[in-house]
Structure 1
Amino acid sequence: MIKLAIDFGTSVTKIYKLGSGIVLAEATCVTVQKDTGEIRAFGNEAKRLLGKTAEQTDVCFPVYEGEIVSERLAGALLEYFLRKVVKRGASVEALFCVPCGYKVESREKVYRVAKAAGIGRVNFAETPFLSVLGQDVPLSESNPVFAIDIGAGVTSIAAFSLDGIIAGLSMNVGGSNMDVHIIDHIADTFSLKIGSLTSEKLKNTVGSLIEDDNQSTIINGRDIKSGRPRSVSVSSADIVFPIKVYIDKIAEYADLVLKKLPAEVSAAMLKNGLYLSGGVCNIAGLAEYMSGKLQMEAHLSGDPQMAVVLGGGRAVGNAALLRRIRLE
């Protein structure tokens, strides 16, 4: 049986194949013909068409804020991804990485989508456990850890040990919120209309929480007044507000989780520090900023976007560990 760990994310789907490592990282995206409902493109190919399609074609994201919003599109997309990494007809067991506190109804949707895509056995594990496993942090019953995973659509925050989650939550805040806010901010500041792909690229290239960071880049868009194409230079300082407002909200909720902890657990948190993961954590200075906000050392994964699926890979390769952390 082929064993996979699947992070079916709002923005990007990652798949880890036991014995091979990470075998896929593609946009969770499809294009659909409006009149027939036919799916025309999948994954990265579909995302490249964002903002460039004709009237009769929609670019759709079947996962929104961690929830499957179209089982038909999600099933077709997952099946497409599986064909790229597994031979047709192979027996597959998959561990799905899901947000902290993921509801039973939400898991049932994922289960139906997985079955429709041809997966034989389905397990679930929450993101906080997997994110620290992906950073090679040892888990035990007596040594609790604190983790924050900031994805595109969902942020998971939890204090936990191998015995389970002590306190935690998930919130619908992430990189996608920042992208939308950056679009509005650029329109207000520069009178320039930009698209989602440009906004995401801007966040990823010059987005920074380092004070006085002077990185800059040239972006192209449409002048709001004249309607003509125009270019402007945008610096880190120009987009710090639409990034910081969401990071501050995440820090606020992380502080609430910390305040719920028993005294001994709090002492362990202070000693062990905070473990950060998720694609948003690639923003320059984010780890140091969160460290200052929460007054504790912050550890950043070497590859934040892949930490969760790497942890899923460790879990599918260790039956005893998987039994401890999987959701029943």
Structure 2
Amino acid sequence: MWDFAGRDTAIDLGSATVRMHVRDRGVVAREPSLLARCLHTGKILALGLPAQEMAGRNPDVRLVRPIREGAPTETDEAEYLMRALVRTHHRRRYTARPRLVVTVPSGMSSVHYRALQFSAFQAGARRLTLVPTPIAAAIGMGLTSSGRPEVVVVADIGADITDVGVISFGGLVTSHTALVGGSSLDRAIVALVRREHKVRISPASAEAAKLEVGAVPPIGRRPLRQTVVHGRDLTTGMPRGIVLTTADVARAIAAPVGEIVGAIQQGLAGCGPEISGELLGVGITLTGGTARLPGLDRLIRERTGLAARIGDDTGDAAVIGAADVLRSSGSQEPPARRSSPRPHLLTTVPEG
């Protein structure tokens, strides 16, 4: 009966990429978390990849990032983003009202909590569940459940934040969120090129260089590669190309990479002695786009003394785990008089 209102839906609101999972259909959307707004009319012209393609090419368009630090910063734009995704992938332009589960940073502030609540219900959610990203990712990778006593450590290294969670019996034992991620690395590359070459490049060019030749120092025997980035010469104002090598990028990102590792260490430091003794045999599972930076797992292993591995190659673990949360909670809908518009913040895995 409730399928008529919309199938259960999970959304992973990443600062760089938003993913959506619809029950029985799987992951149906992986879009950049971007909107393109007309400067003259204020109308939103595009979202996701079409909006990204307008960046810097249309002077009448301003790009808006409605999700920062893993939470809505622009409630109207975040509402538009979620509503557009829900209506598009439920094939109902105006009537879709699904049960919605959204991943959130484990250290989300009360201000961001209220902003997300408002945006989700305005976007059409009839019920809302919020799941900390480390728990959702652990479920999506099959690492935890409500009845399993094993300790699991998940470090989600995204675009804006690093979210570390220590999980046991399906619940968060301790967690730590730090405002450092892939965007910090991009800004560091932009700053190095500006400082040493007097050239201004875009964050998108810095990200492309990071993906092509980036590696965590020390490079050791890793072969040096190089790439060319283009920007504007600050002296002449003319276009200019700069060659960046693996060593250049490694030197630029050394400081923010150190902050990421420090955030993971701080997350582990919150464990009690009973759990700390088990961590040596458990290791750290890394998720998020920045976790795939070459050499990062090695540096984490050297600094923490714990094995580190990439647990999610696709980036879909969190949204898949969030979808499993609704599946585990069952399809029984409560009576209308017992329904609450307030969201449910889930800190333990439901039994299913």
Q: Mark yes or no: TM-score above 0.5.
A: yes
Instruction: Please state how far the C-alpha of 1:23 moved relative to its aligned partner.
Output: 1.0
- For the 8 Å contact 2:73–2:115, the answer to whether it is kept is no
Question: Using a 3 Å threshold, how does the CA distance of structure 1 residues 277 and 247 change in structure 2: closer, same or farther?
Answer: same
Instruction: Please state how far the C-alpha of 1:40 moved relative to its aligned partner.
Output: 1.7
Structure 1 counterpart of 2:74, one-letter code: S
Instruction: Please state how far the C-alpha of 1:163 moved relative to its aligned partner.
Output: 5.2
Q: Which residue of 2 aligns with 1:270?
A: 280
Q: Which residue of 1 aligns with 2:303?
A: 293
- For the 8 Å contact 1:125–1:325, the answer to whether it is kept is no
Structure 1 counterpart of 2:161, one-letter code: V
2:57 is equivalent to residue 72 of structure 1? no
Deviations 1:225-283 (A, max 9, x none): 22222222211211113323122112223223323322220121111110110110121
Tell me which of 271, 275, 299 is aligned to 1:261. Answer: 271
Instruction: Please state how far the C-alpha of 1:95 moved relative to its aligned partner.
Output: 0.8
Alignment partners' CA distance in 2, 1:175 and 1:133: 24
Question: What's the RMSD between the two structures over aligned residues?
Answer: 2.0
Q: Which residue of 2 aligns with 1:142?
A: 149
2:232 is equivalent to residue 222 of structure 1? yes
Q: Which residue of 2 aligns with 1:234?
A: 244
Alignment partners' CA distance in 2, 1:242 and 1:267: 36
Alignment partners' CA distance in 1, 2:89 and 2:247: 41
Higher mean alpha-carbon deviation, 86-95 vs 147-156, is at 86-95
2:199 is equivalent to residue 175 of structure 1? no
Alignment partners' CA distance in 2, 1:84 and 1:236: 41
Which ranges of structure 1 fall in alignment gaps of 5 or more residues?
Answer: none
**Alignment map for 1:1-328 (pairs within 5 Å):** 1=3, 2-54=7-59, 56-88=60-92, 89-139=95-145, 140=147, 142-162=149-169, 164-209=171-216, 211-212=219-220, 213=222, 214-303=224-313, 305-319=315-329, 324-325=348-349
- For the 8 Å contact 2:104–2:131, the answer to whether it is kept is yes
Alignment partners' CA distance in 2, 1:120 and 1:17: 15
- For the 8 Å contact 2:286–2:312, the answer to whether it is kept is no
Mark the structure with the bigger radius of gyration. Answer: 2
TM norm structure 2: 0.86
Q: Secondary structure of the equivalent of 2:36?
A: strand
Which ranges of structure 2 fall in alignment gaps of 5 or more residues?
Answer: 331-345
Deviations 1:49-71 (A, max 9, x none): 223331x4311111122231211
Alignment partners' CA distance in 1, 2:103 and 2:69: 14
TM norm structure 1: 0.92
Instruction: Please state how far the C-alpha of 1:141 moved relative to its aligned partner.
Output: 5.0
Instruction: Please state how far the C-alpha of 1:152 moved relative to its aligned partner.
Output: 0.7
- For the 8 Å contact 2:233–2:240, the answer to whether it is kept is yes
- For the 8 Å contact 1:282–1:304, the answer to whether it is kept is no
Question: Using a 3 Å threshold, how does the CA distance of structure 1 residues 166 and 302 change in structure 2: closer, same or farther?
Answer: closer
Q: Secondary structure of the equivalent of 1:10?
A: coil
Structure 2 counterpart of 1:23, one-letter code: V
Instruction: Please state how far the C-alpha of 1:19 moved relative to its aligned partner.
Output: 1.7
Alignment partners' CA distance in 2, 1:64 and 1:302: 22
Higher mean alpha-carbon deviation, 160-169 vs 110-119, is at 160-169
Instruction: Please state how far the C-alpha of 1:80 moved relative to its aligned partner.
Output: 1.7
Give the length in aligned residue pairs.
324
Higher mean alpha-carbon deviation, 116-125 vs 158-167, is at 158-167
- For the 8 Å contact 2:75–2:115, the answer to whether it is kept is yes
Q: Secondary structure of the equivalent of 1:125?
A: strand
Question: Deviation above 6 Å: which 4+ runs of structure 1?
Answer: none
